[in-house]
Structure formats: structure tokens, C-alpha cells
Amino acid sequence: MSEEILKVGVVTVSDRASRGEYEDKSGPAIEAWLKRALVTPFEVESRLVADEFDEIGAAITELVDVASAHLVLTTGGTGPARRDVTPEATLAVCDREMPGFGERMRQISLQYVPTAILSRQVGALRGQSLVVNLPGSPRSIAEILDELFASIPYCIELMEGPVVDTDPDVVVAFRPKKK
């Protein structure tokens, strides 16, 4: 475990927002959630890209390799529409998949809508960073992070990142007892 401060990359993937036709509400929703949930210090680096395989991969790569993000959260581009390629772009720049993240996010969203199975979200690792695809809608982002984030502080510790603590009124960061 290191003494460094948590660095979070946020990547909004949206053709319309990247052309300025539309204000990005999803990236700010992630940042607002982190402000509400985390009691340990953190910094956010945000990027806004079009639904382009190469742009998405480049943003993740830069946030991990140059900005040294411990955690990268993307939003948008995970459905079945023709332009939705965020999961493919994510896996292409990662070394190892975390299949439990995609499964769990769909399980959480299935509590709200049966169409949750159309979300192709993945979690994966690039070096010492965890990359997670979140959905596009601010409401779904909060529904998922409220449950999913329980596992993320321990994941970051296992990857030798900083200690992250949360406000238990938002989400309890779980750490298994050593067996």
C-alpha cells in the first residue's frame, strides 16, 4: 500500500457531447458521486471523446500510463447501437479482464430494468489500474456505483494502490478478513 493520493480517470464517450452538441452530464455525475462517497483524498482527470475505438483506447492508455490513474471509469458507448464500441476499445488496451464487474453491473441494473442485459459493460486491468465501463445515464451510474464500489477499495489495495475509504452512508468499502 502506498501513501499516494488516489487518482481517478473519467472518460465520457459520446459523439454528440464530443462535438459540443450536448452538455456532458455523465462525466460530472461520476465526479459528483465520488465527492459524495469518498472520505479519503482523490484527484480526477477527465476526458471527453467520440464513440471511436481508437480515441477511447488512447484516452484510457494516456490516463493509465501518463496520468498514473489507479482507477479509470468510462461512461457511454456500451449498448448494441452501431457506434457503441467502448467495451471492445477497453479490452483492446487492457491485459486481463475482470469478468465479475460486467456480471455484477448487469445484475444490479436488472433490479431496475430487464433491458439491463443489453449493457455490454466490462471491467479490466491495464497494468496497475482498474478500468470499469459505466452506463451512460447519470441515474444508472449512481445505482451501480452505490453497490459496485464496495469492492473497489480492496481491489486497488490488491494492486498496490493507495488506501481508499468511503462514507458508509453511501457505500461500505469491504475488506475480507485474512483467512
Q: d(Cα 177, Cα 6) in Å, to the nearest integer?
A: 23
3-class DSSP state of 100 = helix
In whole angstroms, the minimum distance from the beta carbon of 118 to a copy of itself comes to 5
Asked if 102 touches a copy of itself (CB under 8 A), the answer is yes
The region, left, alpha or beta by phi > 0 then psi within -120 to 50, assigned to residue 49 is beta
Residue 9 C-alpha from the chain's centroid: 8
x/- contact string, 135-154, with a copy of itself (CB under 8 A)?
A: --xxxx------xx-xx--x
In whole angstroms, the minimum distance from the beta carbon of 110 to a copy of itself comes to 8
- Among the candidate windows 6-14, 31-39, 61-69, 73-81, which touches a copy of itself by CB under 8 A? 73-81
Residue 4 C-alpha from the chain's centroid: 20
Q: d(Cα 79, Cα 68) in Å, to the nearest integer?
A: 28
x/- contact string, 155-174, with a copy of itself (CB under 8 A)?
A: x--xxx-------------x
CB closer to a copy of itself out of 5 and 158: 158
Q: Other CB atoms closer than 10 Å to residue 18's CB: what's the count?
A: 19
CB closer to a copy of itself out of 55 and 88: 88
In whole angstroms, the minimum distance from the beta carbon of 164 to a copy of itself comes to 13
Q: Other CB atoms closer than 10 Å to residue 26's CB: what's the count?
A: 25
- Among the candidate windows 1-9, 16-24, 34-42, 84-92, which touches a copy of itself by CB under 8 A? 84-92
3-class DSSP state of 178 = coil
Q: d(Cα 24, Cα 40) in Å, to the nearest integer?
A: 26
Contact set with a copy of itself (CB under 8 A): 79-82, 84-85, 87-88, 96-104, 106, 110, 113-120, 122, 125, 128, 130, 137-140, 147-148, 150-151, 154-155, 158-160, 174-176, 179
